[in-house]
Amino acid sequence: MTGRTLLLRNLLLFAVLATSVLAAPSVQAAPETLTIAAANSLRDAFRQILPLFEAYNKDINVRVIYGSSKTLTKQIEEGAPVDVFLPSQVEDIEQLDKKGLVIQGTKRVYAGTSLVLIAGPEFPAPITSVQDLRTTLVRFIAVGDPKTSSVGKVAAQYFNHSKLDSQLKSQFVYGEHSRAVLDLVAKGEADIGVVYRTDAVTNKKIRILDEAPKDSHQPVHYGVAAVWTARNIPAAGDFINFLETPKVQALLQDHGFDRIAPQDDLAQRQEGQ
């Protein structure tokens, strides 16, 4: 075989190999998983927010676990593999923080809401405030269980402030969390109920009768933090920052959330640091 023939053969082989390499499909890295533990009252808002976050972060796949804040707190304390925790009260994050189970500098308050009195659409009694319950007869009042839910704890403060807890206690029926309370009213198993506005504002099966005065219970501030079991801390930080963007804040307001005053948020950041 002449030198020229050998050269041509090698050039042809190189061309074939180069074409094969260029034609081979590119191998993309699998998206990283971000595991979020979120309160039930965030479910409706997150149906819009989580896909939006994934659209902006195509390398991240969000896995979300919903539950009552108290249950999720206990699971995280016991080592559940969670990156980001979003309870319905920032106090649950502070509980973890006191035990050294929150990653320093990640705790934020990103939204708030209020407590509201609700009824089913066909409930005929003319109730405009909780004080009407002194004279208006109702069968059952749905409230959250204070042992398992933050909404139950806040509702207990509300009734105590109204000085109606002893009068109405025999009429209480308990739900494990805010969404369970909402279902009791929507299905007619309770005449009225007390939930967060975030649960009630988009539900067409119930109507809001009244909003609890701000001084009748502790503020309802929604907090977020990366926790000690986090496996994807960079993505957790991206998600926490994403919650504060104008687009997400507008979506939260559509679902009954209030924007937290800047000084409140700043105080939480300084505390977390």
* Domains defined for the chain, CATH in brackets: 32-113+220-272 (3.40.190.10), 115-211 (3.40.190.10)
Cα–Cα distance measured from residue 146 to residue 95, given in angstroms and rounded to the nearest whole number: 16
- Classify residue 71 by burial, with Cβ atoms within 10 Å: 0-12, 13-18, 19+: middle
User: 55-69 pLDDT, tens per residue?
Assistant: 999 999 999 999 988
- Classify residue 246 by burial, with Cβ atoms within 10 Å: 0-12, 13-18, 19+: exposed
Which of 10-14, 150-154, 197-201 is predicted least confidently? 10-14
pLDDT computed for residue 46 by the predictor: 96
Average pLDDT over residues 102-111: 95
Question: Going by C-beta distance under 8 Å and a sequence separation of 6 or more, which residues neighbour residue 270?
Answer: none
Average pLDDT over residues 244-273: 72
Q: Tell me the percentage of the chain whose pLDDT exceeds 70.
A: 84
User: 208-243 pLDDT, tens per residue?
Assistant: 999 999 899 999 999 999 999 999 999 999 999 999
The residue ranges of DSSP E strands in 128-260, in sequence order, are: 141-144, 172-175, 192-196, 207-211, 220-226
CA nearest 62: which of 89, 37, 28?
37
User: 74-102 pLDDT, tens per residue?
Assistant: 999 999 999 999 998 899 999 999 999 99
Residue 27's pLDDT band (boundaries 50, 70, 90)?
A: very low
**pTM, to two decimals:** 0.77
pLDDT computed for residue 64 by the predictor: 97
Pairing of strands 141-144, 172-175: parallel
Average pLDDT over residues 200-213: 90
Q: Tell me the percentage of the chain whose pLDDT exceeds 90.
A: 62
